[in-house]
Amino acid sequence: MTGSDSQSPQRTGRGLRIALILSVALNLLFIGLVAGGAMTAGQRQSASWSSGPDPRALWRALPDDSREELRARFREEAGQAPRPDRDERRARAAAQDAELLALLRAETFDADAFAALLETRREAMATRSAAAQALLVERLDSLSAAERAAVAERYENRRDRRFGPR
């Protein structure tokens, strides 16, 4: 037996061991992805079923020209100024976060101030949502039966792609 013959089984053993470890790692990764996907899909599907129709999805199911027109009307009727630029939006968000964090970090927690901060945000969102919903209903009311059926078809197709058929 030569020196090279005695090293060959060791090299083969080491390569086989590395291949086995890699195979087990890939199998575990695959199992984790499948299990995670199954768990997440179940959560998304159950959330969609319990929350009812999604007004944003209905809005997106409208024809493009209708959506653009509704956006313009929403800004007009809500009395909104043009959308602030990115830096201004970030500055507002940072100020709100700073206020929230200050309340959380205070030695004595001011539950009323914290609740008021959350309530202010909720009210602003509810007001915007109600205005958008009113415009959506008005637009749908102005469509013909065939146009509403097309909206329903787009809504259903998008829902089924996202959550699967019901």
Question: Which residues, in sequence order, are CB contacts of 73 under 8 Å at separation 6+?
Answer: 135
pLDDT of residue 52: 66
HSE at residue 78, side-chain half, CA atoms within 13 A, is 22
Higher-pLDDT residue of 105 and 80 is: 105
> Which pair of tokens denotes residue 50?
């319990």
Instruction: Please tell me whether residue 119 adopts helix, strand or coil conformation.
Output: helix
Give the C-alpha separation, 69 to 49, whole Å.
Answer: 30
**Domain residue ranges of the chain, discontinuous segments joined by +:** 1-52, 53-166
Check whether 21 has a pLDDT greater than 50. yes
pTM of the model: 0.53
Check whether 8 has a pLDDT greater than 70. no
For residue 48, name the pLDDT band (cuts at 50, 70, 90): very low
> Which pair of tokens denotes residue 12?
């083969």
Structure confidence by residue, pLDDT tens digits, 67-76: 888 888 887 7
Structure confidence by residue, pLDDT tens digits, 96-152: 899 999 999 999 999 999 999 999 888 888 888 888 888 889 989 988 999 899 999
48, 163 in Cβ contact below 8 A?
Answer: yes
Percent of residues in the chain assigned helix, strand, coil, to nearest 5: 85, 0, 15
Give the C-alpha separation, 78 to 124, whole Å.
Answer: 11
